[in-house]
Structure 1
């Protein structure tokens, strides 16, 4: 390894992206393979909710390139497909299924039984138990039957619980009792034996009263022989507030013998977005996707819209937004790169046995010197690239023995011409200077 000297200092790219530039950049491909390729390599799903009418132009190009699964955001909900009793409108749903089939993607049906977005004729009706039971069966037979053999999974029952773990009082619960859930699952299995059947809810990502109620329900259904294949954890989260027990919660459902899917992931923030918020959001996305990737029976992650221009958050939570992996102009945000890293990206798969370690070797009131060591044991590298995301606004100013660039909070460094090779049992080290204020936490480094 060469020694540090002034001639080896490599300045970062001039004018590294500010938040404003980050949020208005032109559409661009990430350096990694598409997310769907990274997910496929791990046997996972990486999906997105979509609006069928928008599946053209850049929106359609990104949706088709990056994801191996699509969920209709609204097109398969009861109010959309049967606004008038007995008269169905399948155009939007059919468009999404056709797009997915043309792009080699699976489809997750969403949702059959819910308390919201139902047609007025249903919610305003006066039903006996037998009448409503028949209406429910007919709806499931018709919709699931229409797409039999074409959908991978269905969110059969959506949001059955209150926050304290009691059943939500809905038309279904009040008229049919809690067994409406078993009825819906059983009917969906008969309508399409090949589709995986899920119960889906929000605020059940960590271990709490609501997720425990869901756990107890699934356990009971399985003991009774009711067909339930998985649970969906919606994961509509807030920046900096990812539950610490996400992986533990996923694992306990998996231990019941069911699959788990993160079905509606977005992570919102108070606007305007800042570098610090985007960095925290990236860390949160990485945390959730990594938790799923670590559990075999977690099938994958679906984001609830991939671009801020097609997100439900601003209309529902005034003053909040920027919740998705792409900005409104289809430029990938730090969250996108965090998802890629959690799926094994970051410039290509590193060789097993090679690691990267970040350290601070000196610090003063406004700056610090850092070092990253790439080491191999039982493997070797012909070239390398590392990346990390700062969470406290740190900015790298110069580096030696590597070529580095920083965009927003994301730093990417690659080997110099002379030190790309790392032999088995060997290591290389590069250093850098950077600024900091307030705090200087150590980020997680991804080796590619």
Structure 2
């Protein structure tokens, strides 16, 4: 390679680097309005893909772990904890001066069966389950006391119709398991914010049930700072009106709002929820954009993102954080949910870790937005 060519290539790399550094980020554009975060995995924290690691550090003001703090990964057996990934995750956020969220303390999914049964495989008593909850929460929250901004204390305790999910927690302890979880978390770190987190919060019956839960927790003297709306969305649902109606209800209930797992699937779907147990058979009709997305469809997706982002800005007095569930289309969970093997495009960076054009539009919107 000629020296002139080497110099030209080096100059191009430096110019690209300088342009990237000069770009505004959503974290910068939303400063003073709300935190802008992303869910991360251990490979990104550990620098296995340095490009992704750098993007997460530069583009976002908050992080949440995809899996490493859920009950099963962090506490697979009684009296045995796996701290390695969680420790590295928290240290990564501290190094990059990002707000760190713990996700999640109590969830009916991704939790060891041992949590609910005795040595003979029978359901434990309410007293035993309550003590196991206390031990788990106090140990996990206590380890990171003062280092975690807030915790998703309970995840997905309601069905879409507003009834309590018939989980093992509910079967053994009734709805009081939620109250106990919040009490134990507050005892373990009195300064940490505490959240309830769920999907399809835009569904009126579920939102009403969550509002009632907030009232009950407050009446019992529990701390609850915000409700997390996962915001796993589709091209046509939820409507902007339904999302805003849920915001109004939560605001009136006296809690703040977190958008905790935001993505918008561009694909047709047989299912509007986020229950990870859902699974449907693959078909080409449900995977129409393997080669490319038609421009008309891409423009509709862009508008959908901007409409929802505008709603978040409109309620920035109570929306404290907006978190995208995954950095890029390459690693999104929606490539496999609710139909395995599909090719989805639901987040803000493409499969080559490049910003999508809609990000610049969001940045402009955030910078210009005034109530």
- Out of 275, 289, 304, the position equivalent to 2:309 is 289
Instruction: Name whichever of 331-340 and 224-233 sits farther off.
Output: 331-340
Return the alpha-carbon distance in structure 2 between the equivalents of residues 94 and 274 of structure 1.
43
Give deviations 1:43-88, integer Å, cap 9, x for gaps.
3110000002223210001100010000000010011111122111
Partner of 1:414: none
2:33 equivalent among 34, 43, 66: 43
Secondary structure at 1:111 match in 2: strand
SS state of the match for residue 245, structure 1? Answer: helix
Shift of 1:249: 1.8
CA contact (8 A) 2:227 2:256 kept: yes
Deviations 1:139-188 (A, max 9, x none): 00000001111011110000010111000000100000101111100110
CA contact (8 A) 2:116 2:129 kept: no
Does the CA contact (< 8 Å) of 1:250 and 1:292 recur in 2?
no
**In angstroms, what is the RMSD of aligned CA positions?**
2.1
CA distance in 2, matches of 1:105, 1:317: 31
Question: Which stretch of structure 1 is more off in the superposition, 328-337 or 27-36?
Answer: 27-36
Contact 2:117 2:124 in 1 (8 A): no
Is the aligned partner of 1:313 residue 2:309?
no
- The reply to whether residue 275 of structure 1 matches residue 295 of structure 2 is yes
| Cα gap change, 1:264 to 1:80, in 2 (>3 Å) | same
Q: Which has the higher helix share?
A: 2
Supply the distance in 1 between the matched residues of 2:180 and 2:366 (Cα, whole angstroms). 37
What is the rounded CA distance, in whole Å, between the counterparts of 1:108 and 1:259 in structure 2?
Answer: 15
Gaps of 5+ in 1: 1-25, 354-448
Q: Which residue of 2 aligns with 1:331?
A: 354
Change (3 A) 1:181 1:328: same
CA distance in structure 1 between the partners assigned to 2:115 and 2:297 by the alignment: 43
Tell me the TM-score normalised to structure 2 length: 0.82
2:156 pairs with one of 145, 156, 159? 159
| C-alpha separation in 1, matches of 2:162 and 2:125 | 27
Structure 1 residue 112, shift from structure 2 partner: 0.4
Deviation at 1:254, TM superposition (A): 1.6
Distance 2:253 2:51 in 1: 41
Q: Does 1:217 align with 2:213?
A: yes
> Are 1:33 and 2:27 counterparts?
no
Shift of 1:290: 1.9
Deviation at 1:222, TM superposition (A): 1.8
Q: How much has 1:287 moved relative to structure 2?
A: 2.1
Query: What is the CA-CA distance between 1:211 and the residue it aligns to?
Result: 1.1
Q: 1:215-252, CA deviations, whole angstroms, 9 ceiling, x for partnerless residues?
A: 12112222332211110000011123242232232132
Aligned length: 321
Q: What's 2:279 paired with? A: none
- Conserved 8 A contact 1:78-1:112: yes
* TM-score with structure 1 setting the length: 0.68
- What's 1:199 paired with? 196
Residue equivalent to 1:322: 345
Within 5 A, what are the aligned runs for 1:8-87? Answer: 29=20, 32-40=23-31, 42-55=32-45, 56=47, 57-87=50-80
| 1:121 pairs with 2:114 | yes
Counterpart CA distance in 1 for 2:84 and 2:295 is: 41
Q: Which has the larger radius of gyration?
A: 1
Cα distance in 2 between the residues matched to 1:142 and 1:285? 39
